[in-house]
Amino acid sequence: MPGAMLLILLPIVATLLLRWFRSEKMQYILLATTVVLLSATALKLYFGSAVLTFHFPHWLELFIVIADLLLLLYFLWQGRRFDRRIITLLAVIQLLLYGWAESVLPEEGGAEVVVDALSTFMFLIINIVGGIIVVYAVRYMSYEEISEEKKRLFIAYLLLFLSVMNAVVVSNSLLLFFFLFEMTTLASYLLIGFRGDETAQKNALKALWMNQIGGVVILLGTLCAIYGYDTTRFDALTGSVGGTLLLCVSLVSMAALVKGASIPFDGWLLGAMVAPTPVSAILHSATMVKIAPWLILKLSPALGGTGVGLLLSTFGGFVFVAASYLALSRTVFKEILGYSTIALLGLMMALAAIGTPETSILTMVLIFFHALSKAMLFMTAGVVEKLHHLKDIEDMKGLIETAPKSARFILFGFVSLTLPPFGLFIVKLFAIEEVSHMLPDHPGLFLLLLSILIGSTLLVLLYFKVTAAILSRPSDIVGLGHEAMPSGFLLPLAILAVLVVFTTIRLAAVQQVADLTLFFVPIAMLVLAPLAYRWMDRFDRVKCYHCGEKESFDAALYYYEPTPKIRVAIYTFFTLLFVSVALTGALS
């Protein structure tokens, strides 16, 4: 238990210490120590692989109840303050439901906190990837024009977020999970609204009410579990059979769809782009949205093979396709990354909801590699924004010449998200294999299979459209420019890149599929191709062909904008699908 305790408490301690660490150097020392300690603990727990349980003492339970009430009242106040009726309404509903749940709470023995293999795996991502992002944020914030006090506050928020996330993934009680879920909602509300301007405020409030829907369905699920099975424990609930089990599980898993920003709730995650980039990085890669696949994985013993599980799988598959499609109309780099996160989260939830051991492992591998690659991409987006003042992919044309280092990190990020032999590719490959394998017994999975096939090609189209903008060069008669990247940016990015390569090799070694080695050959060719550059000097350099014109031409990128009608149809369809999850749960 001390390990998990350390993970939760250490970020809080570091937050408190941050007051006295005023210079940048001191902050780096403090944060680096914290992150190294966190990562080491996470690694130790991961390889320790013992299941630990912990039962809360009475005072701690009381503390959580009070904190929960305060939190909901804070939301209520925010709703009143900004005159948003929906936030007020949802806060009142949650207060009522929470009071009801607390009043009928059964006496039970099971542990509130369980550290199992899934939790230790999530620790790895949260602490290593999240930690790297926190360290990166120091340099990023030094470019912001705000007071030193506020910069430290920002770092403190990020650290607290890590602490809350570490607590989320070990919670085994539905009510404790509800509290922590609301805490992450609070964290995202504060971080998105950090800049304090009008759009930031608007998007923060949007994130707030959307996430509150998640809180409501968790409470409904909790009540269902209390009345049906006399329990609020995850393991007791997923271990039960018959009755209204599917209704309870489907209600709780709807919270995952909200947190995972599945369409129709994609608005809040896209709105998070107004915050400083480390927020996007940490929301998209290590924390927050990863609650969604984690929750489905946690519930997967009860979901596997049921109608609700199938519906969730199909839902995830559809989100994978629709989000990839919607991304094709975007021009802002971070929004494109955001939609691809939503798409891949859909795939994660789809695989998790199938509920076999194989698909669970695939989901975990997907979560891991997605966290690494997305963190790298978002951090690079931040670097490009701060050093070169570019946000739009149309402006990023020829980035390889002006900013070769950033461009290479972006390219590596995209390659690791799509091409063999990297993790995400392997997962998609095995997912297709696995689903085709299950198809004769579960014909319902056909729609998921189709979604994976179409969605992954759409994502290829998306990523390489952006690559296009970055790579294009008129000639190489003069070499690439030099980009001075501060080590506060370069080091975290380099560490992530090394991690991607290292874990990919490890994954391939673990898989022990000899066939996969053939996938290393093409990537080796691409890596070795620059060796031939010197030999290429013998060939004449010439201009691009533009029908003999002397003017320089440039092709714009392609965008595929859905018509308003199609957009409305997509959102209506997904809203109906979202509601039907609960209906399916109630009917089966």
Partner 1 sequence: MTTWFWIVMAPVLGGLVYGGERVLRARMQRRQGPPLLQPFYDMFKLMDKRTLVIHSAHALLGVVHFLVLWITVGAIFFGWNLLYIVFLHLFALIVLVIAGYSVRSVFSQIGANRELLALVAYEPVLLLVTVGFYLYAGSFYIGDILHHSGYLSQMPLLFLALLVILPIKVKKSPFDVVEGHQEIVGGVEVEYSGFFFEFLYMARFLEYIFIYSFVFLFGGADYWLGALLVIGTFILVNLVDNATARVRAADMVKISYLLALLLAGINIVWMLT
Partner 2 sequence: MKWLAQFRKKSPWILHYNAGSCNGCDIEILAALSPRFDLERFGIVNTGNPKQTDIFLVTGPVTFHSRERLVELYSQIPEPKVVVAVGACTSTGGVFRGMYNVEDGIDRYIPVDVYVPGCAASPQLIIDGIVQALSILEKKNKAIEKPFRLFGGIKRIGKKISRLTMAKRIGEEK
CA distances from 358 to 260, 355, 433 (A): 22, 8, 11
Instruction: Give the integer Cα–Cα distance in Å for 419 and 422.
Output: 6
Q: 418, 459 in Cβ contact below 8 A?
A: yes
Q: Which is nearer to partner 1, 536 or 587 (CB)?
A: 536
| Contact pick of 241, 525, 542, 555 for partner 2 (by CB under 8 A) | 542
554 lies in the site for partner 2, by CB under 8 A: no
Q: Which is nearer to partner 2, 197 or 476 (CB)?
A: 476
Min dist. Cβ of residue 478 to partner 2 (A): 7
CA distances from 80 to 188, 236, 267 (A): 19, 39, 22
Q: 157, 176 in Cβ contact below 8 A?
A: no
458 binds, among partner 2, partner 1, none (CB under 5 to 8 A by kind): partner 1
CA distances from 377 to 271, 341, 388, 512, 549 (A): 18, 11, 16, 29, 38
Q: Which two tokens stand for residue 248?
A: 């309870």
Min dist. Cβ of residue 482 to partner 2 (A): 17
25 binds, among partner 2, partner 1, none (CB under 5 to 8 A by kind): none
550 lies in the site for partner 2, by CB under 8 A: yes
Count of other CB atoms within 10 angstroms of residue 67: 13
Q: Which is nearer to partner 2, 241 or 555 (CB)?
A: 555
Min dist. Cβ of residue 540 to partner 2 (A): 5
Instruction: Give the integer Cα–Cα distance in Å for 424 and 465.
Output: 19
Stretch that binds partner 2, among 431-439, 519-527, 540-548, 571-579 (CB under 8 A): 540-548
530 binds, among partner 1, partner 2, none (CB under 5 to 8 A by kind): partner 1
Stretch that binds partner 2, among 118-126, 219-227, 419-427, 536-544 (CB under 8 A): 536-544
Min dist. Cβ of residue 532 to partner 1 (A): 6
Instruction: Give the integer Cα–Cα distance in Å for 456 and 366.
Output: 14
547 lies in the site for partner 2, by CB under 8 A: yes
The H-or-E segment that residue 53 falls in is strand 52-54
532 lies in the site for partner 2, by CB under 8 A: no
**Cα 6–Cα 7–Cα 8 angle in degrees, nearest 5:** 90
Which of positions 441-500 make contact with partner 2 (CB under 8 A)? Answer: 475, 477-478
Instruction: Give the integer Cα–Cα distance in Å for 315 and 161.
Output: 29
3-state secondary structure at position 114: strand
Strand partners, 154: none
The H-or-E segment that residue 373 falls in is helix 357-388
| Contact pick of 107, 548, 552, 558 for partner 2 (by CB under 8 A) | 548
Min dist. Cβ of residue 533 to partner 2 (A): 11
81 lies in the site for partner 2, by CB under 8 A: no
Type of residue found at 112: E
Min dist. Cβ of residue 421 to partner 1 (A): 10
Cα atoms found within 13 Å of the Cα of residue 409, Cβ hemisphere only: 28
Residues engaged in binding partner 1 (CB under 8 A)? 398, 418-420, 425, 429, 432-433, 436, 439-440, 443, 446, 449-450, 453-454, 457-458, 460-461, 464-465, 467-468, 471-476, 515, 518-519, 521-522, 525-526, 529-530, 532-533, 536, 539-546, 552-555, 558
Binding site for partner 2 (CB under 8 A): 475, 477-478, 537, 540-543, 545, 547-550
